[in-house]
Chains A and B, each alone.
Chain A
Amino acid sequence: MANPIISVENLGKRYRLRHQQQSYETLRDSLTATAKSWLAGRLATAIPSEEDFWALKDVSFEINQGDVVGVIGRNGAGKSTLLKILSRITEPTTGRIRLKGRVASLLEVGTGFHPELTGRENIFLNGAILGMTKTEIRRHFDEIVAFSEVERFLDTPVKHYSSGMYTRLAFSVAAHLRSEILIVDEVLAVGDAAFRHKCLAKMQSAAEEDRTVLFVSHDLAAIQKLTEKTLLLSHGRLQSFADTATCLAEYVASCSRSDATNLPRPLNSCPVILTELRLEDSTGRNTRSLKLTEPFDVRIRFSCEQPLRNAVIGIAVHTPNDVALFATHTNDFGTLLECSPGDWEAVCHVAPNLLRAGKYRISVGVLDHNLLVYHVADACRLSIEPILLDGSGHYDERIGELYMPMRWAVAPATLQSN
């Protein structure tokens, strides 16, 4: 076993929950409480409205240099608390962490950006907040600007930026942070697909430089792509720490009733769980490879945990470049779902001659009263087989994202005068 760069022993973090609707202690209350306890002869010193809550308990693990480790778990499992302790934002209640090297943590994109300051000014400010020195920032300044693609607006206050530009600039600063350990929380959930891709690549290259990366995400596809090992947290405890495939399987199994699929749990504890997704060709066979000229069905089986009213279930088809080609849902022709708890099935009949030959990804979402309550970004992959042009040995290679054959009529032109 090599020398671990991060070693965590019996880590625990306790929060005091106050049951009153009061979020801050006030001096007045402290003083009156003290006075009361004095008057009562210290009999009533215990404040009954407090309760302990362990956000993390007995967590131990070791990470070696150069490892890229994912952190997964449901909301409230303790992921953010773990990251906050590792990045020294808050102190643990029990246990100990040893870190060998400089830690850079990116828990939020654009922390400390000031809307009144220009892009240029914010690069310096944000860099300093993240722990860079002035010379470091100056050295990487051009790279940061190039990466962010906002050169033209460098001297514009960031309050005039679009949210995409803002995010790009903020991530670019963080991406150029030099540190042995990099901690990243969910920041890739922002920005457009192309930029997200760039960010992932940047993190991958960080790992290739033998830096250690800890990466929290709900995007299991990104975890799978990026990490070799994964920490699975559950209710503040370390449920398992193993290679990513094993961990993801365990995570999914712990969430999903049916273990036949690899469909992950939704963003938070939700009323619906997708249990199976089948693509059926015209003969009813479950397949992932379909002919261009053939219609097919998307059969979605889901289990309803809580009753759904006025809900909508839908799918979207994406290209490998993450372009959403189209989306369709049960309300396309005015049907809102009323589902009682139990297992349900929804079938979407996809017309033939729609998708060009190529590979696609299907995402599934459930909306309840226009609120996205469930989303699986990568519910299944499919490929559409190319067809040969009639009478020739060539494939049909027309341009366009969609294959949409139309009827044409061609005839000799007659002179018309309108």
Chain B
Amino acid sequence: MIGPAAVPDELVIEAGRTEAHYWRDLWRYRDLFYFLAWRDLLVRYKQTVFGVLWAVLRPFLTMLIFVVVFSQVAGLPSDGVPYPILVLAGMLPWQFFATALSDSSASLVSNANLITKIYFPRIILPASSVIVALVDFTITLGLLAAVMVWYRHVPPVQVVLLPLFVLLSLVAALGPGLIATALNVKYRDFRFVIPFIVQFGLYVSPIGFKSSVIEGRLGPLARLLYSLNPMVGVIDGFRWCLGAEPSLHLASLAISVITSVVLLGIGVRYFRATEKGFADIV
């Protein structure tokens, strides 16, 4: 007779059962999270000639276009701050959001071979694509720093709060990213919707102009409604930290933060509700 051995905790698999150890499992698989992101980065830069340069080149060229179109042609005001800094402070977080959304939504379908053969918390796949986008984002922040040095623009003290807004942009990207990922597995034509959302979002986010323009032309209520777009809070925050915006509109920021958090909550719930069926339909 063997005594009571150290019984590892029991796992029950049942239809419709929500995983009791979901978050603990996620923690156990943290290395996978890291390795997937590492794989994507490594592979991307192994196959290209320009490598890391791509991450910088794309926002740089877009910035040039924005600068020409908005400051020279449209003549939008920038209140004394160099216009390229204003544009970059808006465009970089936006580009992060757009990349995170499109990459994460494609992540499950492009890793279908993993999903049908191995168990791991599926949320790791879209999440690690978001992390890859975040790495690109930090590279482009270097570009922004270079532009600031070029214009001899010294950021104010609140620049130390910048990481908080990076975190907010992460939350803002992850929520819609998870929703899009789950929808993309179930409905294959959803991938046609994503570029549209990205393009549309570019114009409804305050990238070529300041959010205060909305308030100035359409009134304070319009600005609050406008802040339902989570990127409004992120971009305004970036500009404030970099001294491209004199003050932070707290109500507007609060609305953006709440929208981001709610979207993340919906995203995680929806993803978890559908993830067990992924292997059957992917």
Contacts and interface: CB of A to CB of B under 8 A. Distances in A.
Interface of A: 2-3, 15, 24-28, 30, 84-103, 105, 107-108, 111-112, 114, 116-117, 121, 124-125, 128-134, 180
Contacts of B7: 3, 100
B33 to A, nearest CB: 8
Interface in B24-70: 28-29, 31-32, 34-36, 38-39, 42-43, 46-47
Interface in B161-210: 183, 186-190, 193
Contact of B281 (A24, A95, A96, A133): A24
Interface stretch (B94-102, B117-125, B135-143, B248-256): B117-125
A98 B119 contact: no
Given A92-B14, A117-B39, 19 more contacts: A24-B281, A25-B187, A25-B188, A26-B189, A27-B187, A27-B190, A89-B115, A89-B279, A96-B14, A99-B13, A100-B9, A102-B8, A108-B117, A114-B39, A117-B42, A125-B36, A125-B39, A129-B32, A180-B8
A85 to B, nearest CB: 7
A86 B2 CA distance: 27
A101 B5 CA distance: 12
A352 B24 CA distance: 68
B277 interface: yes
Nearest to A101: B8
A99 B10 contact: yes
B247 interface: no
B116 interface: yes
14 contacts: A3-B7, A27-B183, A86-B13, A89-B279, A95-B15, A98-B10, A100-B10, A103-B119, A105-B118, A111-B117, A111-B118, A125-B39, A129-B120, A131-B29
Contacts of A121: 39, 42
A25 B274 CA distance: 14
Contacts of A111: 113-114, 117-118
B269 interface: no
Contacts of A24: 187-188, 281
A87 B2 CA distance: 28
A117 B14 contact: no
A93 B15 contact: yes
A133 B31 CA distance: 6
Given A24-B281, A111-B114, A117-B39, A128 B189 contact: no
A90 B279 contact: yes
Interface of B: 2, 7-16, 28-29, 31-32, 34-36, 38-39, 42-43, 46-47, 113-120, 183, 186-190, 193, 276-277, 279-281
Nearest to A31: B187
A261 to B, nearest CB: 36
Nearest to A109: B117
A89 B13 contact: no
Contacts of B36: 125, 128
A386 B256 CA distance: 88
Contact of A90 (B189, B193, B280): B280
A112 B119 CA distance: 12
B187 A107 contact: no
B10 A25 contact: no
A24 B108 CA distance: 15
A111 B120 CA distance: 13
B187 A116 contact: no
Contacts of B115: 89
Nearest to A121: B42
B15 A27 contact: no
Contacts of A108: 117
Given A112-B114, A129-B118, A91 B11 contact: no
A367 to B, nearest CB: 31
Given A90-B280, A97-B14, A180-B8, A129 B189 contact: no
A91 B35 contact: no
A-B pairs, top 6 by smallest CB distance, nearest first, are A27-B187, A88-B119, A91-B276, A128-B35, A97-B13, A128-B32
B8 A116 contact: no
Contacts of B11: 98-100, 103
Contacts of B9: 100
Nearest to B188: A24
Nearest to A113: B113
A201 to B, nearest CB: 24
Contacts of B43: 114, 116-117
Nearest to B14: A96
Kindly name the residue among A108, A124, A129, A131 whose own CB sees the greatest number of chain B CB atoms within 10 A: A129
Contacts of B114: 111-112, 129
A27 B189 contact: yes
A134 B38 CA distance: 13
Given A89-B117, A96-B14, A111-B113, A116 B47 contact: yes
A103 B280 CA distance: 20
Contact of B118 (A26, A95, A112, A117): A112
A378 B217 CA distance: 85
A112 B193 CA distance: 28
A85 B31 contact: no
B113 A112 contact: yes
A99 B15 CA distance: 15
B123 to A, nearest CB: 14
A271 B154 CA distance: 81
Kindly name the residue among A25, A86, A88, A103 whose own CB sees the greatest number of chain B CB atoms within 10 A: A88
A103 B119 CA distance: 10
Kindly name the residue among A3, A27, A99, A111 whose own CB sees the greatest number of chain B CB atoms within 10 A: A27
